[in-house]
Structure 1
Amino acid sequence: MPLSTPAARAPIHTRKVTCEGFRRTDGMWDIEGHITDVKSYPFHTEERGPMEPGDPIHQMWMRLTVDDQLTVHAVEAVTEHSPYRACPSITPRFQALVGLRIGPGWTRAVKDRLGGAQGCTHLVELLGPMATTAFQTVFPILTREKADKAKAEGRNVQDRKERPVLLNMCHIFSSDGEVVRKHWPDHYTGDRAADEAAE
């Protein structure tokens, strides 16, 4: 079991986020996100009236179409269920993402354009896991194809001097860590002397 056994408890709220990545036949990539919120108990809302357990309070969808560099070329945002009738009116604002690149500064750029009253909290939150999904969709395929091409041309499969996309994006890819020292030594910033002494 991944977590320890919990105390006795009753379910109250469930949020589900699903993200998927797709390669399109035109060479672009679609990254889709879906978010739902449901309660385990009946309650009443001002605009939607009675809600039964499992009825979606929020159900929203987002599609980002990106290129190989993760630059956003198209956005589609849909609010299917929400507490207020006016909630879907904000979805056209998400066109502000067109032209942005998923990478360093993405979160700040999203908040600058769509934070607070400029956007929808739930759709903005969905963009975080969608960005991660974009990385995990696009880069493994491009890396594999690059390696296959290099192998076919008789070149080294991995150019260790090229800056890794993942460098410093997570503690495991820290520039002074073991993974970088082993796989991308030209980008290693740790104490080489201490490492050699320890070996």
Structure 2
Amino acid sequence: MPLTSPASRRKVHTRRVTCEGFRRDDGHLDIEGHITDVKTYEVPNSFRDGIPAGEPIHDMSIRLTVDDELTILAVEAITDAGPFAICPDITVNFQRLKGIRIGPGWRKKVLSALGGAEGCTHLVELLWTMATTAYQTLYGESARKRRETGEEEPKRTGRPPLLNSCHAFGESSPVVKDIWPEFYKDPT
């Protein structure tokens, strides 16, 4: 269902975020993220002698190469467009992500390595969506391979990691009652 019809308005800003996951021939995963910010009007900017309407203020990309445990093996961060000459200089700091695992504590580890003046707000924000893309890439592909080969779902032990992570996986939801009945809690 689409959003309702909006009030009369004019577009001012567009942010586009694209994240993609790839299985490499060497078995690792590449997770790529790209972010652009574009205004519908010229932005005064002394470094770029003004930024024309429709031209990206920000145009940035990251590639994370991860293993099947989602540990970061390699990082490439690029700033093709930024509002200041020094913006691309910080991309080298993203090498600090090597060895960090996408999983519990991810945000805290990223902010410890790249927070504030040690990073770039836009590239760091991109990492949040890229983490979700990494999970979707790894676990979606694993499920697909199991279906193709007829392999059984691995036996889960303990509390499902997705339990209470969203409305659908809330411990009192019909979804949990159906797929993890042992963890279902009756809301009454």
> Please, what TM-score do these two structures have when normalized by structure 2?
0.90
Counterparts of residues 92-111 of structure 1 (less than 5 Å)? 92-111=92-111
2:79 is aligned to 79
SS at match of 1:173: coil
1:62 is aligned to 62
Q: How far apart are residue 50 of structure 1 and its match?
A: 2.3
- Pair 1:103–1:168, CA change in 2 (3 A): farther
**Amino acid in structure 1 at the alignment position of 2:20:** E
Q: Which one has the bigger helix percentage? A: 1
For residues 175 and 154 of structure 2, what CA distance do their matches in structure 1 show? 15
Is the Cα–Cα contact under 8 Å of residues 161 and 184 in structure 1 kept in the other structure? no
Gaps of 5+ in 2: none
1:190 aligned onto 2:176: no
SS at match of 2:19: strand
For residues 100 and 163 of structure 2, what CA distance do their matches in structure 1 show? 21
Q: How far apart are residue 163 of structure 1 and its match?
A: 4.9
Counterparts of residues 17-166 of structure 1 (less than 5 Å)? 17-146=17-146, 151=150, 156-157=152-153, 159=155, 161=157, 163-166=159-162
CA offset digits 1:24-54 (Å, max 9, x no partner): 0111000000000111012320111022111
| CA RMSD between the two structures | 2.1
- Pair 1:167–1:69, CA change in 2 (3 A): farther
Q: How far apart are residue 159 of structure 1 and its match?
A: 2.7
Gaps of 5+ in 1: 195-199
2:8 is aligned to 8
CA offset digits 1:145-198 (Å, max 9, x no partner): 34555x45xxx5453546544333322123443322221234x05149x6xxxx
Give the aligned length: 188
> Please, what TM-score do these two structures have when normalized by structure 1?
0.85
For residues 139 and 82 of structure 1, what CA distance do their matches in structure 2 show? 34
Is the Cα–Cα contact under 8 Å of residues 19 and 133 in structure 1 kept in the other structure? yes
For residues 101 and 174 of structure 2, what CA distance do their matches in structure 1 show? 29
Is the Cα–Cα contact under 8 Å of residues 60 and 81 in structure 1 kept in the other structure? yes
Once structures 1 and 2 are overlaid, which stretch shifts more, 78-87 or 164-173? 164-173
Q: How far apart are residue 111 of structure 1 and its match?
A: 1.1
State the structure with more CA Rg: 1
SS at match of 2:50: strand
2:174 is aligned to 178
For residues 121 and 170 of structure 1, what CA distance do their matches in structure 2 show? 26
For residues 61 and 160 of structure 1, what CA distance do their matches in structure 2 show? 36
Is the Cα–Cα contact under 8 Å of residues 174 and 180 in structure 1 kept in the other structure? yes
For residues 139 and 165 of structure 1, what CA distance do their matches in structure 2 show? 13
